[in-house]
Amino acid sequence: MDVRIEESWKQRLQPEFEKDYFKALTSFVKSEYEQQQVFPPGKLIFNAFELCPFNKAKVVIIGQDPYHGPEQAHGLCFSVNDDVKFPPSLMNIFKEIKSDIGTETPQSGNLTRWAEQGVLLLNATLTVRAHQAGSHQRRGWEEFTDAAIRVLAEENEHIVFILWGSYAQRKGAFIDRNKHLVLSSAHPSPLSAYNGFFGNKHFSKANEYLKAHGKEEIIW
């Protein structure tokens, strides 16, 4: 199956595209886009991979589901398009960055600038029906994104994996802690941010690790 995805990822994920689950997923997603309002726009489903090629990935942040409101999702977890109001989790992420390293809250919630520096902003599920959170879960996306995380972790060393909340932590449970830095805490959602997200200092810790291993730090 020919999937339009960034070439370095395509080479490594090609075996997934030939599996039955991915063919069923493709059929389901196509029918959803034809019959429903689905986010993100079809051309941005694999945006996280497009903006962060395999060999440039230095940090991985794992989300769960795309935003399901109009104009929000554009294929990067926690990120929203320019001129879109910050969702609560993203606002809390910016609060923690300011507390951790002093960077002021930006004008835009568009995290493309992180992706282009080597931050893979990967949701576990890459599509969602409008206003229906979780509507495309358990259709095959999770298996596909597991494969992407696995190949990245196995073929590289010294990547920072940031796992916020129990869902992301379960998804990243197999990552070799001897080869990579795994940072875990509560989720930045207002429901849990005060239970360990605030004060986790993941942004400075990530940069310290990257610097220690000869990699350029992220401008958060």
Query: In the chain, which ranges are continuous DSSP H helix?
Result: 7-17, 20-35, 47-51, 88-101, 112-115, 141-155, 165-171, 202-212
Kindly report the backbone phi and psi dihedral angles of residue 101, in degrees, each rounded to the nearest multiple of 5, phi listed first: -125, 0
- Percentages helix, strand, coil for the chain (3-state, rounded to 5) are 40, 10, 45
Is 123 in contact with 145 (CB distance < 8 Å)? yes
Distance CA 51, CA 43 (A): 13
Catalytic site residue 100?
A: no
Question: Both ends of the chain: CA-CA distance in Å?
Answer: 37
The H or E element spanning position 60 is: strand 59-63
Q: Of 2, 20, 65, 83, which one is the catalytic site residue?
A: 65
Residue 175: name the closest of 166, 162, 186 by CA: 162
Which of the residues are catalytic?
Answer: 65
